[in-house]
Amino acid sequence: MLSTTDDTICAIASPPQGALRGIVRISGSETIAIIQKISADKLPALGARSIRLPIEVVLPVAPDRNPLTLRADTLLWPNAASYTGQPAAELHVSGCPPLLDALTERVCQAGARPARPGEFTLRAFLSGRLDLTQAEAVLGVIDADNEQSLRLALRQLAGGLSIPLAELRDQLLQLLAHLEAGLDFVEEDIEFISQTGLTAALTEISQTLRKTKRQVADRTLSAERPLIVLRGAANAGKSSLLNCLAGQQAAIVANLPGTTRDAVEVKANFGQRQVVLTDTAGFESASSPLQHAMQQMAADLDQRATLRLLCWDGRQPPPCVDDADRKRTICVRTKCDLANTPDGYNVDTWLPTSSVTGQGIQQLRSTIAGKLDQLLDQGAGGVAGTISRCRVSLDQAIDSIDVAIQIAENGFAQELVAAEMRVAVHAVGEVTGEVYTDDILDRIFSRFCIGK
Ligand SMILES: Nc1nc2c(ncn2[C@@H]2O[C@H](COP(=O)(O)OP(=O)(O)OP(=O)(O)O)[C@@H](O)[C@H]2O)c(=O)[nH]1
Ligand SMILES: [Mg+2]
């Protein structure tokens, strides 16, 4: 897969089903010569700047027919300022598939070869225009089927993941340089970094690595539809609220504590966000295996949820709000159309709603949207392919740094600390692509489609 980048490649870059506009993409050193060859007219003098120019292309057609002349709106990058980091062009024509096939054939006759899947992005990576996480983000953008996946992929494409990792790698390399300088002067007893300085710096790096791993792995806080779980006592009005927020009768409502047993999931939108709302069984003691299973399922969902709506029927004692969950909890007082809350309870932090009259529902919707924005924009996140790849490398980096800390703390030879640090530098470099093998590239770029 890691082939030469000297030859010139060509592929249709627009969707295969046909569209109003179609694009044939070319990249490689022969790009300008090829454009000149396929153009019916002589090209104007080209400087180093990218330009847009219309050209007439004579297309190969059946021998007994007149040749077909096609006007192509051509974007030309004569130098390395293109996506791929080498001379490149895009021919924009009508999106008719046979026409695009004929144009590609003509470009190949003129000296290009058909591109392999992901080869344009591979060239962008090999020329240093993108790092590996950004290359994967290109795939994330193509695959995004909802707004948050797209936002996440775009953030990764803009370096959201690689910038902090590159900084971390620099930090490690600098520390390693100090350590290795000290090793060279060990005879003279010159120390470039003290043992406490070294362990403190390594501990900080280890914490940053752990934080990055948590952020990258936390897909429920990023690419997937966030999960919002409804919690509260039995009969608190959770199912009624779910139906109200989802705008459909998804869950059974009855004036009978314990109506909801299995979790009921329904898709809903809050602001720009698409989410999964999940109704659960109400809090109750688990005195039978069935109740135990209901409580377990609800608790598991609660753990996974991005956001929880804690429901309180104001006529009953309020449920307790766990401090650890406060940031991701919205406290909702239900059934506000009914009798008032008895004295002695502080209702200030509870948003009053009624699923019958609709009171407070709009406000709850905007509170949910705002809270999701807050929670979801905090994590670095990552597109699916990057996450699985990162996990292994980050684990390895964390392990090595932890071993390095132990060795440093025990006052063992600094050569051993340096060796562990080198393993960590390598592992972090694998994520962004400072260190790569053909096998890694193959795994990443074979998932792309042709033309990307
Ligand atoms: N007046 C009024 N009644 C409500 C409201 N919300 C729920 N109810 C009633 O309260 C009862 C329980 O509602 P559910 O939505 O089933 O409550 P739940 O929390 O899902 O109950 P379980 O599934 O048993 O845990 C039903 O009779 C609902 O009609 C409300 O806002 N106002
Ligand atoms: Mg219910």
Per-residue pLDDT reduced to its tens digit, 234-267: 999 999 999 999 999 999 999 999 999 999 999 9
The CATH H-level (homologous superfamily) assignment of domain 143-219+382-433 is tRNA modification GTPase MnmE domain 2 (1.20.120.430)
Q: Which bound ligand lies closest to the C-alpha atom of 235? A: 1
Dist. CA 304 → ligand 2 center (Å): 20
Residue ranges covered by each domain of the chain = 9-130, 143-219+382-433, 227-376
Whole-prediction pTM: 0.58
CATH topology of domain 9-130: Gyrase A; domain 2 (3.30.1360)
Dist. CA 273 → ligand 2 center (Å): 25
Q: Domain 227-376: state its class.
A: alpha beta
Dig out the tokens for 70 from the structure: 């096609």
Q: β-pairing, 273-279 with 264-270?
A: antiparallel
Distance between CA atoms of 348 and 346, rounded to whole angstroms? 6
Tell me, using a 6 A CB cutoff, whether residue 238 lines ligand 1.
yes
Distance between CA atoms of 314 and 335, rounded to whole angstroms? 7
pLDDT, tens digit, 9 for 90 and up, residues 346-377? 888 899 999 999 999 999 999 998 888 777 75
- Are 9-130 and 143-219+382-433 the same fold in CATH? no
Distance between CA atoms of 342 and 409, rounded to whole angstroms? 59
pLDDT reported for residue 7: 93
Percent of the chain topping pLDDT 70:
91
pLDDT, tens digit, 9 for 90 and up, residues 384-409? 677 777 888 899 999 999 999 999 89
Tell me, using a 6 A CB cutoff, whether residue 236 lines ligand 1.
yes
Residue of 235, 238, 242, 341 to test ligand 1 pocket, by largest number of atoms within 8 Å of CB: 235
Q: Tokens 């077909």 appear where? A: 68
DSSP 8-state assignment for residue 255: S
Distance between CA atoms of 446 and 84, rounded to whole angstroms? 17
User: How many helices (H) and strands (E) would you count in the chain?
Assistant: 13, 12
Dist. CA 222 → ligand 2 center (Å): 28
As a whole number, the mean pLDDT across the chain is 86
Tell me, using a 6 A CB cutoff, whether residue 280 lines ligand 1.
no
Question: 113: part of which helix (H) or strand (E)?
Answer: strand 113-114
Where would I find the H helices in 144-288? 147-157, 162-184, 195-217, 238-246
Tell me, using a 6 A CB cutoff, whether residue 355 lines ligand 1.
yes
Dist. CA 259 → ligand 2 center (Å): 5
Dig out the tokens for 69 from the structure: 């002349």
Tell me, using a 6 A CB cutoff, whether residue 237 lines ligand 1.
yes
160, 172, 21: which is closest to 100 by C-alpha?
Answer: 21
